[in-house]
């Protein structure tokens, strides 16, 4: 099995040194994540894995939690003026494209090109890359796993003195959870 690991920062995927992983650092944003995933996904890749940090809505997850994602929303898509549902846009064939479902288990994450300071009803988690990776996986017809570590609670001031230490500790937990998920997926 070969797994493409996509993260916005090299610290988020640095621990993925096992032979099955090919690491890609996309930088921040949905467009960067989409482009880097497509450009680096070769035919022999069996699975795409998106890892990184996210914010969470209060009461849905706590700082240091590592969570799986079942659905991805493009928070920036708003064509409601054209009578499309919120978070839906048009695809290249003028069909509609809304949230992307990737699993039966986990939480919903909303991706935006702006840092989330408020939550939305449809989502528990918030980041800036997951939708780009999910869209690439959909276009490439590749399986996808998204594992995120909660680094902050939306709307609350960050109370952690050493944010870099938090990220380092989260990277270890993300790697453990992701490796477990990938191994479970490879056996099924």
3-state helix, strand, coil in the chain (%, to 5): 30, 30, 45
Is 116 a residue whose pLDDT tops 70? Answer: no
Which pTM does this prediction carry? 0.91
Domain of residue 153: give its range. 3-174
Number of structural domains (the chain) is 1
Share of the chain above pLDDT 90, in %: 54
Contacts of 109 (CB under 8 A, 6+ apart): 54, 69, 71, 72, 73, 123, 124, 125, 126, 127, 130, 146, 148
Give the CATH number, domain containing residue 62.
Answer: 3.40.50.1580
In a domain, 148, yes or no: yes
Joined tokens for residue 14: 């640095």
Asked whether the CA dihedral 57, 58, 60, 64 is positive or negative, the reply is positive
Structural domain contains residue 166: yes
Residue 81: pLDDT band with limits 50, 70, 90 = confident
- Does residue 97 fall inside a structural domain? yes
In a domain, 61, yes or no: yes
Can you tell me the distance from the alpha carbon of 138 to that of 180, in angstroms, rounded to the nearest whole number? 23
Asked whether residue 188 is assigned to any structural domain, the reply reads: no
Highest mean pLDDT (candidates 47-51, 71-75, 83-87, 112-116) = 47-51
- The verdict on residue 49 lying in a domain is yes
User: What is the model's pLDDT at position 102?
Assistant: 94
Looking at the domain assignment, is residue 182 inside a domain?
Answer: no
Mean pLDDT of 44-69: 94
Position 187 in a domain: no
Which span out of 29-43, 71-85, 90-104, 138-152 was modeled with the highest average pLDDT? Answer: 138-152
DSSP state of 170: H
């Amino acid at each position: 099995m070969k797994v493409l690991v996509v993260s916005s920062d090299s610290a988020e995927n640095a621990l993925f040194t096992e032979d099955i992983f090919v690491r890609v650092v996309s930088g921040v944003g949905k467009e960067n994540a989409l482009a880097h995933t497509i450009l680096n996904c070769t035919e022999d890749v069996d699975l795409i894995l998106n890892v990184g940090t996210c914010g969470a809505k209060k009461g849905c997850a706590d700082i240091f939690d590592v969570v799986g994602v079942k659905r991805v929303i493009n928070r920036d898509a708003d064509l409601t003026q054209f009578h499309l549902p919120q978070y839906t846009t048009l695809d290249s064939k003028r069909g509609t494209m809304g949230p992307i479902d990737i699993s039966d288990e986990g939480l919903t994450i909303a991706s935006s090109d702006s840092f989330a300071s408020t939550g939305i009803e449809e989502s528990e988690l918030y980041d800036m890359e997951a939708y780009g990776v999910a869209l690439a996986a959909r276009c490439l017809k590749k399986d996808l796993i998204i594992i995120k570590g909660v680094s902050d609670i939306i709307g609350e001031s960050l109370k952690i003195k050493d944010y870099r230490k938090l990220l380092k500790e989260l990277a270890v937990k993300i790697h453990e959870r992701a490796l477990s998920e990938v191994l479970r997926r490879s056996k099924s």
